[in-house]
Structure 1
Amino acid sequence: MMQVIDAHIHLDMYTNAQQQQLLQELDEHHTEALVAVSNHLSSAKQTWKLAQVDKRIRPAFGYHPEQQLPTTEELNELLRFMEQHHTDMNAVGEVGLPYYMRKEDPTISIEPYMELLETMFIHAVNWNKPVVLHAIYEDAPVVCELLEKHSIRQAHFHWFKGDESTVQWIVGNGYMLSVTPDCLYESEIQRLIQQVPLTSLMVETDGPWPFEGPFHGMMTHPRMIHASVAKIAELKRLPIDSVYHHLFANTKDFYQL
């Protein structure tokens, strides 16, 4: 096994015991760093505290879209925290649009979430930080338009799902996409891997989100990324050492690790 970086994990959502176990085992499983994203203010504060203790944790602060909108005061408090700690922050994220919430409740308006996303984009530009995106299926082209509107070049579409034309748009703009361990058993993700050039790919766990297939019943762990790398090499018919090298370099360069 060669070195990997988990490009997207919700470390604050693990229990304290799980966090300690995971961090103790990073070296054993050749994991150099974790890009730890946040869901809201308290999540950001926890992630920041974790990053102060272990420098392998690279924090991102933001407001996850699959939840109720923040109040004005909640948003202002989050933005104040991000401003205060922007030099500690590797990215703005996780941000995006609420695809799954709107599937469950079509009456939810997308416009306020777009306004929130634009606010995050404006601050990301001011802080010169990349953005970590939850933007899938038909939401992805909407987000691409907003990225272009704000001249954002550094965008990471995590656990991406969408049509081929959107993939081409994302890749053409120089944005990055990442895949999770579900690439071992999900044909949709396997097709995506075949479409996306290796230079545009990263690997992640999105832990503690659980997986099926060979990982059924297991705690999601960065060690699973090695199986993802092997699957990508198989699907692309490339030497596994080359795939390791490119995925590692892509993530290191994108997040300036």
Structure 2
Amino acid sequence: MNMIDAHIHLDRYQDEEIKRMVLDSAHIEALISVSFHLNSCKKNLLLSQKYPKVKPAFGYHPEQTLPSENELNVLLNWMNDHRDEMIAVGEVGLPYYLRQEQGISIAPYLEVLDVFISKAKIWDKPIVLHAVYDDAPLVCDLLEKYSVSKAHFHWFKGEQKTIDRMIRNGYHISITPDVVYEQEIQQLVSVYPLELMMVETDGPWPFEGPFAGKMTHPNMMEESIRKISLLKKLSAEEVSDVLHQNTKGFYHITT
């Protein structure tokens, strides 16, 4: 299987782990390495310059304290300077899990996300989104506001009404290795069109089931593809090819 990891935090691995992951995996064609903040962006840029397989996305992960106005402007200016080197804006979105833990207001996060979506539109870049459950419709509102269709909801979870809306708008989702053992993700795969689907690891995030205790590696996507093929009642080869072409097309990957 030729595979592309549609969402990985490569900069959060150790240098030797990154080297082995990139050089020893001939069947991994590309890794979309998303960023957490400005320093993360800078490291992903360096990794992409060192390893052509690495395709960097630049952004500010929402599950953390928001940057100050000055910090945000510095990040946006840096992204603008490096817009030709980034494959997408991301990871950006809303802090669902942080809000569950701390009860923080979503309003300032919506304001920051509005800026990132508007920039993605101006720069003509896909956008990689962290938006689950009740947050997803709010993100759909912003995407529709700016007529952004090149939207990738990674590790998505949500209600059927939102799923239907995302399908109508042509938004892509990516499936993590927990599809092998999580019924919620299996149900999502059953109803979402294969043509709007990719696979990812979200590494180094750890997984359970058959992956318990193992370092998250793009090779795990092979098991994801096999499970997706069972759910879609198609061959693993056919599913692998569609997912591969989906990701290449969405991110305009030519090499």
Q: TM-score, normalised on structure 2? A: 0.98
Structure 1 match to 2:16: 17
Structure 2 match to 1:134: 130
Q: 5 Å matches for 1:201-240?
A: 201-240=197-236
Q: Does 1:74 align with 2:71?
A: yes
Structure 1 match to 2:181: 185
Residues 89-113 of structure 1: CA distance to partner in whole angstroms, max 9, x if unpaired?
A: 100000000000100112x111100
Q: Does 1:250 align with 2:251?
A: no
How far does residue 168 in structure 1 lie from its aligned partner after superposition? 0.9
- Aligned AA for 2:12? M
Can you give the 5+ residue segments of structure 2 that lack an aligned partner in the other structure? Answer: none
Q: Secondary structure at the match of 1:126?
A: helix
Q: Percent identity?
A: 54
Q: 5 Å matches for 1:1-257?
A: 2-27=1-26, 30-106=27-103, 108-257=104-253
Residues 134-191 of structure 1: CA distance to partner in whole angstroms, max 9, x if unpaired?
A: 0000000110011000110100000000011111111110110111000000000000
C-alpha distance in 2 between matches for 1:53 and 1:15:
15
Q: Secondary structure at the match of 2:152?
A: strand
Residues 61-107 of structure 1: CA distance to partner in whole angstroms, max 9, x if unpaired?
A: 0000000000111111111110111001100000000000100112x
Q: Secondary structure at the match of 1:210?
A: coil
How far does residue 17 in structure 1 lie from its aligned partner after superposition? 1.5
Q: Secondary structure at the match of 2:122?
A: helix
C-alpha distance in 1 between matches for 2:16 and 2:52:
19
Q: Secondary structure at the match of 1:33?
A: strand
C-alpha distance in 1 between matches for 2:146 and 2:226:
36
Residues 112-147 of structure 1: CA distance to partner in whole angstroms, max 9, x if unpaired?
A: 000000110111111100100000000001100110
C-alpha distance in 1 between matches for 2:56 and 2:198:
17
How many corresponding residue pairs?
253
- Aligned AA for 1:141? P
C-alpha distance in 2 between matches for 1:36 and 1:92:
11
Q: Secondary structure at the match of 2:73?
A: helix
C-alpha distance in 1 between matches for 2:126 and 2:156:
17
C-alpha distance in 1 between matches for 2:161 and 2:195:
18
Computed over aligned residues only, the root mean square deviation of the Cα atoms, in angstroms, reads 0.6
- Aligned AA for 1:145? D
- Aligned AA for 2:6? A
Q: TM-score, normalised on structure 1? A: 0.97
- Aligned AA for 1:7? A
- Aligned AA for 1:109? S
- Aligned AA for 1:32? E
Q: Secondary structure at the match of 2:156?
A: coil
Moved over 2 A (4+): none
Q: Secondary structure at the match of 1:132?
A: strand
Q: Secondary structure at the match of 1:5?
A: strand
